[in-house]
């Protein structure tokens, strides 16, 4: 059995980002940019008013001005003004030829088509967005490695970019093993348990912006599981199996993996919950055999699967590990790292009730996992431990 840190290191050593690909900007949000982007145009592309008002030559601002027409946003007609002339203008509209300044409509008086300014603080160039003031044609608009959040995507759209090179998100298969599983909503017959692992895993994976997630059930049968796993490997970058990874007579994940040509990187980690965790690799594809207990599944997801999903898409691991003071004494035997579902507030971490790995009620309330290191047995109130803050 290997330690938690050895397991994390092995996964990291075997995980590589997927090959970059071109995506339409509409589908690119949540990805990491895989190539620098340069601006093709000056933006704004023309001198643009930032207010509703009147366009003028600044030198004429103390004279009475004659209004000769209107420039509205989207107009394709360019008016031209002579000394002591003005045009009505609206936010986003091009300035008429010759104008260099815009006065807000609240700061003039108007009689017919005669305009007098009442804006003693007006400066030359006021209320005008200059050509290229957002970005100049040829300038570096965004660097490789930038996370494409809503503002980044909006900025790129605003400078006319349609497609971008990104590191893609992985396609993920979830394979459920277990004859005993029943769908929520159906009646629970003797011996059955409600299937919950696909729900928690799908929700967690969707949180990462990953949309291609396929869930398949594979019974407790070696042939069926082997077929399902083989076909999942063809279409997906990451395969998550739940259950069937321990030592029972119906635990076929290891055997099916071998039959599918998966290289075992490790099986079993010195931890609780999730001791029988399996990790394997085929070509660049990652295979995680998650111990079936619902709490073990999620614990292994946050500790091992999530960092790998991030790395595959070239993202930084956003899961934060920080120090916290324990609010209660705890004991455990030496030999396994324990992960406790906990509640963290103001620098202090409280282990919750219901820590057994078949239960999710405490996980549902937890905002952190408290790490109790492998060899230590006794923990006192006030001891400083490491915790992982769970993503929302
Ligand atoms: N003799 C031993 N028995 C067990 C050991 C051991 O070392 N020696 N390890 C225990 C530990 S620790 C764990 S964790 C489990 C893991 O076993 P498996 O990965 O083979 O999982 P299963 O036996 O298939 O299922 C375990 C448990 O989880 C329930 N389950 C499974 N899938 C789902 C699902 N999709 N939704 C909800 N619940 C699910 C299943 O009904 C079982 O109750 O092995 C111990 N045994
Ligand atoms: O390690 Mo198991 O995950 O105790 O239930």
Q: State the DSSP string of 302-330.
A: IIIIHHHHHHHTT-----EEEEEEESS-E
Q: What is the pLDDT of residue 363?
A: 93
* Residue 357 beta carbon below 6 angstroms from any ligand 2 atom: yes
Handedness of CA 255, 258, 260, 265 (dihedral sign): positive
* Residue 180 beta carbon below 6 angstroms from any ligand 1 atom: yes
Which sequence spans correspond to the domains of the chain?
4-19+169-312, 21-42+133-167, 48-129, 320-389
Q: Is 124 helix (H, G, I), strand (E, B) or coil?
A: coil
357 pLDDT above the threshold of 90: no
* Residue 281 beta carbon below 6 angstroms from any ligand 2 atom: no
Q: What is the pLDDT of residue 154?
A: 97
392 pLDDT above the threshold of 80: no
Q: Are 37 and 22 in contact (CB under 8 A)?
A: no
**Cα distances (Å, whole numbers) of residue 27 to 37, 176, 209:** 17, 29, 11
d(CA 105, CA 108): 6
| Ligand 1 centroid to residue 216 C-alpha, Å | 18
d(CA 353, CA 391): 21
- Nearest residue CA, atom 4 of ligand 2? 273
- Taking the CA of residue 297 as reference, the ligand 1 atom at the shortest distance is 14
* Residue 274 beta carbon below 6 angstroms from any ligand 2 atom: yes
| Ligand 2 centroid to residue 230 C-alpha, Å | 27
Query: In the predicted model, what is the mean pLDDT of the chain?
Result: 95
| Ligand 1 centroid to residue 358 C-alpha, Å | 8
Q: Are 355 and 362 in contact (CB under 8 A)?
A: yes
Which CATH number does the domain 21-42+133-167 belong to among 2.60.40.420, 3.90.105.10, 3.30.1370.60, 3.40.50.300? 3.90.105.10
| Ligand 1 centroid to residue 386 C-alpha, Å | 27
CATH says 48-129 is which class? mainly beta
Q: What is the pLDDT of residue 248?
A: 81
Q: Is 350 helix (H, G, I), strand (E, B) or coil?
A: strand
> What are the backbone dihedrals phi and psi of residue 68, each rounded to the nearest 5 degrees, phi first?
-110, 0
* Residue 226 beta carbon below 6 angstroms from any ligand 1 atom: no
CB-CB neighbours of 158 under 10 Å: 13
- Taking the CA of residue 220 as reference, the ligand 1 atom at the shortest distance is 24
Q: What is the pLDDT of residue 356?
A: 84
Q: What is the pLDDT of residue 74?
A: 93
Residues 95-135 pLDDT 10s: 999 999 999 999 999 999 999 999 999 999 999 999 999 99
Q: What is the pLDDT of residue 205?
A: 97
| Cα–Cα nearest to 68, from 81, 56, 77, 53 | 81
d(CA 173, CA 166): 22
Q: Are 1 and 269 in contact (CB under 8 A)?
A: yes
Q: What is the pLDDT of residue 200?
A: 97
Residues 265-311 pLDDT 10s: 999 999 999 999 999 999 999 999 999 999 999 999 999 999 999 99
- Taking the CA of residue 291 as reference, the ligand 2 atom at the shortest distance is 3
The whole-number average pLDDT for the span 243-271 is: 93
Does domain 320-389 bear CATH number 2.40.340.10? yes
In which band, very low, low, confident or very high, does the pLDDT at 213 lie, cut at 50, 70 and 90?
A: very high
d(CA 2, CA 279): 12
Q: Are 170 and 213 in contact (CB under 8 A)?
A: no
> What are the backbone dihedrals phi and psi of residue 170, each rounded to the nearest 5 degrees, phi first?
-70, 155
**Range name among 39-43, 54-58, 72-76 with the lowest pLDDT average:** 72-76
Q: What is the pLDDT of residue 250?
A: 76
CB-CB neighbours of 115 under 10 Å: 23
* Residue 291 beta carbon below 6 angstroms from any ligand 1 atom: yes
Tokens of 343: 């509640």
Q: Are 345 and 325 in contact (CB under 8 A)?
A: no
* Residue 275 beta carbon below 6 angstroms from any ligand 2 atom: yes
CATH architecture of the domain 4-19+169-312 equals: 3-Layer(aba) Sandwich (3.40)
In which band, very low, low, confident or very high, does the pLDDT at 318 lie, cut at 50, 70 and 90?
A: confident
Q: Is 125 helix (H, G, I), strand (E, B) or coil?
A: coil
Q: Are 101 and 127 in contact (CB under 8 A)?
A: yes
Q: What is the pLDDT of residue 334?
A: 95
> What are the backbone dihedrals phi and psi of residue 299, each rounded to the nearest 5 degrees, phi first?
-60, -45
Q: Which listed ligand is nearest to 217 at the C-alpha? A: 1
End-to-end C-alpha distance for the chain, whole angstroms: 32
The residue to mutate among 295, 341, 357, having the most atoms of ligand 2 within 8 angstroms of its beta carbon, is: 357
Q: What is the pLDDT of residue 246?
A: 87
69 pLDDT above the threshold of 80: yes
360 pLDDT above the threshold of 90: no
| Ligand 1 centroid to residue 16 C-alpha, Å | 30
- Taking the CA of residue 271 as reference, the ligand 2 atom at the shortest distance is 1
Q: What is the pLDDT of residue 354?
A: 87
355 pLDDT above the threshold of 90: no
């Amino acid at each position: 059995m290997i330690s938690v840190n050895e397991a994390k290191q092995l996964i990291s050593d075997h995980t590589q980002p997927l090959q970059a690909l071109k995506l339409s900007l509409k589908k690119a949000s949540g990805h990491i940019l895989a190539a620098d982007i340069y601006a093709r145009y000056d933006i704004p592309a023309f001198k643009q008013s930032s207010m509703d008002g009147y366009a003028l030559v600044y030198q004429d601002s103390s004279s009475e001005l004659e209004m000769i027409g209107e420039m509205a946003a989207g107009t394709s007609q360019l008016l031209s003004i002579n000394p002591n002339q003005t045009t009505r203008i609206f936010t986003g509209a091009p300035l008429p030829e010759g104008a260099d300044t815009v006065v807000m409509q609240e700061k003039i008086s108007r009689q017919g088509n005669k305009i007098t300014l009442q804006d003693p603080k007006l400066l030359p160039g006021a209320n005008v967005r200059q050509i290229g003031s957002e970005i100049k044609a040829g300038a570096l608009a965004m660097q490789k490695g930038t996370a494409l959040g809503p503002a980044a995507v909006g900025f790129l759209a605003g400078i006319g970019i349609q497609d971008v090179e990104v590191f893609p998100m992985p396609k993920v298969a979830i394979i459920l093993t277990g004859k005993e599983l029943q769908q929520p909503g159906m009646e629970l017959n003797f011996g059955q348990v409600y299937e919950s692992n696909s729900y928690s895993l799908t929700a967690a994976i969707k949180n990462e912006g990953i949309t291609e997630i396929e869930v398949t059930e594979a019974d407790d049968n070696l042939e069926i599981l082997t077929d399902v796993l083989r076909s999942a490997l063809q279409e997906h970058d990451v395969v998550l199996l739940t259950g069937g990874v321990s030592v029972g007579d119906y635990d076929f994940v290891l055997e099916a993996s071998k039959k599918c040509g998966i290289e075992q990187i490790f099986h079993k980690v010195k931890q609780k919950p999730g001791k029988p965790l399996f990790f394997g690799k085929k070509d660049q594809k990652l295979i995680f055999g998650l111990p079936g207990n619902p709490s073990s599944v999620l614990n292994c997801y946050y500790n091992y699967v999530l960092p790998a999903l991030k790395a595959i898409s070239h993202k930084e691991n956003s899961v934060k590990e920080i120090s916290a003071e324990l609010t209660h004494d705890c004991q455990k035997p030496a030999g396994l790292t324990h992960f406790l579902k906990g509640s963290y507030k103001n620098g202090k971490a409280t282990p919750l009730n219901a820590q057994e790995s078949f239960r999710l009620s405490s996980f549902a309330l937890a905002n952190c996992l408290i790490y109790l290191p492998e060899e230590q047995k006794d923990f006192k109130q006030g001891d400083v431990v490491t915790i992982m803050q769970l993503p929302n």
